[in-house]
Structure 1
């Protein structure tokens, strides 16, 4: 080995600085031996090399020239096949400004347990359409586990976005009640996101008999962890006048308040457990109690929230 070193020594001496520079990057101790960088000369401009005027010239602070908008609407059609260009514009519009979406949200699919009979219900809504115009489907139903289905409500609505967070909705509602007459309504309302992230659905209903009722639902997701969510939920119903056939008195008629704790195994699959109070209020509660019924109830609920 010593003989090899002696043989290579003259070549290394001839290579001199070039060899040392080429291998400095591979020297693990090079940073310990690096010489300090020379300090800038007195009076040198610390911003030298940064042409501030060049960047200002790239983006002038003035409006575009008038001639920029004076040409034809689709100038590229003069150079390319107009049919192909129209197809490209339609695709661009669909992908960037006219996206069609469809969703189905199972807000509540739950069973309730209280002093009386165990109950079950569903609360589902979905839409299809774009960002501005949508067709909505909403349906609710409930009944007893042993007694079968008691009531079903179905709404078909047209919704139009009027602000980034609110839609106005207009359509029809149809109720099917066991042991009673079916009833149709004109439905109108708003749905969206209120301040502090409350999801609100407020609607009025004008029945085929001329009875005007209203309902407001509000719920809020309070994240405890990324998967564990506590949701308070409120609901309030009112009637514009007495409707004896439906055991309704003028004023506020029904209310509900509950807390549900759900766990998101995935955003589209989240079982929950909770407690809810619901019942009649005001003159409606008096009508129900006079008929021998219970005006309110507190129930343990177990259910599932999902979407697809």
Structure 2
């Protein structure tokens, strides 16, 4: 009996199912079992969607958000329940631009009065008032408050005429500042070998009435012709638009005689040293003055054209031509004295200043 049972044991072992030999859950020392791969989850194929309608492109935000969430956020990359994540290709939602405050020239025009200019000086907070007053006085003196002077002869020439050579001068000197000056003027003409035909000296006070013009007043005294005359003088002198030097003056003599004068010239630079100067001078009288051989109206006129070469700015020899003509009753006086009413002269001289 026992012998039959021993003989049947191998058959029973062969007939035992394989699950009886399962060693799951048992691990040999030092052995790492690989994790079981989860079965793949079959996802339903998303339904075909219609292309969304074109949306207006929203302005780019000032600073785009980073696509990579910070590592410190434990929920980075996880959508909250009920939150729809944008799909690839979808436009970002439009954002309202931040309003900006208008400043400077972007402000709308208005008619408000400007703020009052400051009247204090910042340096006064650190330095005594006496020190700052002396410093400002010195600064103003160095930048226009100084005393200047100049002597300029625009004409100093010899005139070659038909049979009667002569000479002529026209110059002035002044001393003062930018606003107030004392001025001395002189001009005259004559013929060689004869008495001076005309000569005058003016002493004037000059006051600036603008950036380019001075108002002048003073006294004029004629040294020739005889009898001499003394006049109260008022005039204006300056630089007109387009760089024309102009002078206008009125003269009232002690005898009640009223005269006038207009002058103008222009320096046309041909080169840096070669200058062409056209010039005109007109003398006027309000009445006949037989004693000085002056007639009413236009007394005389001088038209000149001179070409000078500036060896230096202060010294420039020149040549040119000058046409002088007496008019009206003054021409009658000249012819009665045996003189011509008109003359044309070749001139040569020098223009200088210091």
Query: TM tier, shorter chain?
Result: 0.7 to 0.9
Is 1:202 aligned with 2:252? Answer: no
* Residue in structure 2 matching 1:211, options 257, 268, 274: 257
Gapped regions of structure 1 (runs ≥ 5): 1-42, 46-55
Name the structure where helix makes up a greater proportion of residues. Answer: 1
CA distance in 2, matches of 1:130, 1:101: 6
Paired residues in the alignment total: 251
Tell whether the 8 Å contact from 2:306 to 2:318 is kept in structure 1 after alignment: yes
CA distance in 2, matches of 1:284, 1:142: 17
* Residue in structure 2 matching 1:273, options 319, 327, 332: 319
SS in 2 for 1:196: coil
TM-score (norm 2): 0.64
Map of 2:171 onto structure 1: 124
1:156-171 mapped onto 2 (5 Å cutoff): 156-171=203-218
CA distance in 2, matches of 1:276, 1:64: 57
Is 1:249 aligned with 2:320? Answer: no
Map of 2:156 onto structure 1: 109
CA distance in 1, matches of 2:257, 2:181: 28
* Residue in structure 2 matching 1:295, options 334, 341, 351: 341
Map of 1:37 onto structure 2: none
Map of 2:284 onto structure 1: 238
Computed over aligned residues only, the root mean square deviation of the Cα atoms, in angstroms, reads 2.8
Worse-matched range after superposition: 263-272 or 283-292: 283-292
The higher radius of gyration belongs to: 2
TM-score (norm 1): 0.73
Map of 1:20 onto structure 2: none
> How far has the Cα of 1:236 moved from its partner?
0.6
**Displaced runs of 4+ in structure 1, greater than 3 A?**
56-66, 73-84, 148-151
1:52-63 mapped onto 2 (5 Å cutoff): none
Higher relative contact order (Cα pairs below 8 Å, separated by 6+ residues)? 1
Cα separation, partners in 2 of 1:81 and 1:244, compared to 1, 3 Å: same
Worse-matched range after superposition: 287-296 or 274-283: 287-296
SS in 2 for 1:204: strand
CA distance in 2, matches of 1:165, 1:64: 30
Tell whether the 8 Å contact from 2:219 to 2:232 is kept in structure 1 after alignment: yes
1:31-110 mapped onto 2 (5 Å cutoff): 69=118, 73=120, 79-110=126-157
> How far has the Cα of 1:75 moved from its partner?
7.1
Tell whether the 8 Å contact from 2:227 to 2:292 is kept in structure 1 after alignment: no
CA distance in 1, matches of 2:151, 2:339: 36
